[in-house]
Amino acid sequence: MGVSFDKLDGVIWFDGKLVPWQEANVHVLTHGLHYASCVFEGERAYDGTVFRSTEHSLRLKASANILDFEIPYSVAEIDAAKQLVVDRNDLPNAYLRPVAWRGSEMLGVAASNNFIHLAIAAWDWPSYFDPAVKLRGIRMDLADYRRPDPRTAPALAKASGLYMICTISKHRAERKGYTDAMMLDWEGRVAECTAANIFFAQDGKLHTPIADCFLPGITRATVIELAGRRGIEVVERRIMPEELAGFSECFITGTAAEVTPVAEIAQWRFKPGAICEVLMTDFAAEVQPKGRQAAA
């Protein structure tokens, strides 16, 4: 087990100013802790530049709006704060966590006048999965919990409360020797993993679930764009679990996972192949500032 996150060194951007890492604290009676009025982003910086920073900032603001609060900083200010955190902590290749939440002025279900806080931290975080395991494909379980009906939860917000069932599902999977778990939606269709979107390959095409009850990831959008440049058709559609036997390749995408091959989901088996390999390579090039400039 590594150093506890509250004991790391560096500075965190907190409500408009940089503060020492261990002083970036909130009160135990904060509304965001008790009632999950909290939204966040997961981002990466590569070679000193935050990848698709503005898209993440826009999504952070949108998530807050879905939870009925307004972050008191513009997208440009959030972008600048993230870059400042990367620069001041001297972390050219880092994971970033912007997080916004309701404060402690009122502790009840209704708290419309609570102060809205925003903090941004960054730390060194290499591959989400063990590199040796990642190359041969990770093993995943099938989660018991399902993504909720979007009529019952703010499914398109990156909200902390929505990750409760993800943590439970990942823990259960890890106890059984798996790396992660695939989740179905409320109607039993393939949805996503605990913190990543999912793609399948069949006959030279990619298939991925329609993102209407889970977050359509920014890495997901990047991979769809990269596939288009290669002439690989991407079909967004409803996918039933029994279809998994007919797919040859599978991979997941996310800021933390990047592009990670999958070898196994419960009883279904896949073999990382050419499509997965080329998209991993293309994504690695895309996230570098030079690669982004060439694409533009």
Q: What's the pLDDT score for residue 291?
A: 60
Which residues belong to the active site? 158
Q: Where are the domains of the chain?
A: 5-123, 131-295
Q: What's the pLDDT score for residue 273?
A: 93
Q: Please report the beta strands in 17-144, taking only residues with DSSP state E, as ranges in sequence order.
A: 17-20, 38-40, 43-46, 49-50, 94-102, 116-123, 138-142
Query: Across the 296 residues of the chain, what is the mean pLDDT of every consecutive 10-residue run?
Result: 87 98 97 98 97 98 98 98 98 97 97 97 80 80 98 97 98 97 98 98 97 97 98 98 98 95 97 94 91 58
Q: What CATH number does the domain located at 5-123 have?
A: 3.30.470.10
Contact, 198 vs 223, CB < 8 A? no
Judged by DSSP in three states, 239 sits in: coil
Give rounded-to-5 percent helix, strand, coil for the chain. 35, 30, 40
Of 226, 224, 164, residue with least CA distance to 195: 164
Judged by DSSP in three states, 101 sits in: strand
Contact, 30 vs 102, CB < 8 A? yes
Could you confirm whether domain 131-295 is CATH 3.40.50.2300?
no
CA separation (Å) from 64 to 49, 60, 153, 174?
24, 6, 14, 31
Task: Find residue 138's DSSP bridge partners.
Answer: 262
| Cα 4 from Cα 144, distance rounded (Å) | 30
Q: What's the pLDDT score for residue 162?
A: 97
**Torsion over CA: 109, 110, 113, 116 (sign):** positive
Of 147, 144, 140, 94, residue with least CA distance to 264: 140
Per the structure block, which two tokens stand in for 285? Answer: 């090039």
Contact, 210 vs 238, CB < 8 A? yes
CA separation (Å) from 44 to 72, 99, 126?
23, 14, 10
Q: What's the pLDDT score for residue 125?
A: 83
**Torsion over CA: 27, 33, 38, 40 (sign):** positive
Q: What's the pLDDT score for residue 296?
A: 53
65-100 per-position pLDDT tens digit: 999 999 999 999 999 999 999 999 999 999 999 999
Of 175, 176, 180, residue with least CA distance to 198: 180
The pTM assigned to this predicted structure is 0.94
